[in-house]
Amino acid sequence: MRLDGKGGSVAVDNLRPPPGRGRMGRMRWSRLFDDLEAQLRAEERAELLADVAEHTRARRGQQGLTDRMAADLGRPLRLRVAAAGVLEGTLAELGADWLVLRVELPGARARSVLVPVAAVRAVWGLSGRADPHEGVAQRRLGLRHALRAISRDRAQVRLTDLEGGQLSGTIDRVGRDHVDLREVPEDGTGRGRGHTVVMPLAALALVASAPSAGSPGAGGA
C-alpha cells in the first residue's frame, strides 16, 4: 500500500502493468540495451583499428632501410649499387650504415661484398617485415668499424669508387673519413706492391674480397 495525495491509500497492485505488458517492456528494453552495447563495441573496434593503423603508419615512418633489412638477414637480395651495377647474393651482415652480401660466382668460391648503404640505389627482395630491435648489436657498428676489421685481417680487397674506378690491395689504415689502401696486383703472387692510395669514404661504392687467381669472377665486382 502507499498513500495517495489526499490521505487515502492506493493499492500497489494498481500500479503494475496489465498481465504480459511488463515482460514485453523489459524484453524491449533489453533489446535496446543489447543494441547499444553492440554499437559501443563496434565503435570501440573501429577506434582501435584506427589507432592501430595510425600507429603502424607512424612506426613505418620511423623505420630506416637497415631496420627493414634487419628482418631479412640470411635471405637473398638483389641490389643496384652506384657504379657497380646489380649484385645478387645473400644478406650476410648488417651494420649501421653498411651491409655485406655473400655473392656466389659460377665456378669460383663465393665472395663477400661490403656495400655502404649510401651507395645503394635500389633493393629487390625485401620481405616487407621490419623490426627496429632486430640485429641491434650488429647495427651499432659503423662503416669505419667494419673497414678496420677488414684491415686487421690483412686480406686483399678490391675497392670500387662511385665513378667505377677500382683499386686492389690491402687496407693499411682507416681514418675518420678515408682509407689508406696499399696497392697489390691481383695476380695471386703478392709481388709488385705499389704505392699507398687514399680514398675518401664518401667516394666508396663497395669493398669486395679478392677473387681467387684465374677464377671466372676475377673481372667482376
pLDDT digits (tens, 9 = 90+) for 97-141: 999 999 986 666 789 999 999 999 999 999 877 655 555 545 578
| pLDDT on residue 43 | 81
Burial class (CB in 10 A: 0-12, 13-18, 19+), 74: exposed
Report, as an integer, the average pLDDT of 141-157: 91
pLDDT, tens digit (0-9, with 9 covering 90-100), for 24-74:
556 667 777 677 778 878 888 877 777 666 655 555 555 788 888 888 999
- Say whether pLDDT at 144 is over 60: yes
| pLDDT on residue 207 | 96
Measured between alpha carbons, how far is 46 from 86 in angstroms, rounded to an integer?
Answer: 45
Q: What is the pTM of this model?
A: 0.66
**Which triple of cell numbers denotes residue 74?**
640470411
- Say whether pLDDT at 219 is over 80: no
pLDDT-based confidence at residue 166 (cuts at 50, 70, 90): very high
Measured between alpha carbons, how far is residue 45 from residues 41, 60, 176, 185, 190 in Å? Answer: 6, 22, 53, 67, 69
- Say whether pLDDT at 148 is over 60: yes
pLDDT-based confidence at residue 18 (cuts at 50, 70, 90): low
pLDDT, tens digit (0-9, with 9 covering 90-100), for 72-95:
999 999 999 999 999 999 999 999
Domain 65-214 has CATH 3.30.310.80: no
The domain segmentation of the chain, as residue ranges, is 13-61, 65-214
Higher-scoring residue by pLDDT: 152, 191: 152
Report, as an integer, the average pLDDT of 155-184: 95
| pLDDT on residue 216 | 39
Measured between alpha carbons, how far is residue 201 from residues 96, 115, 122 in Å? Answer: 15, 11, 20
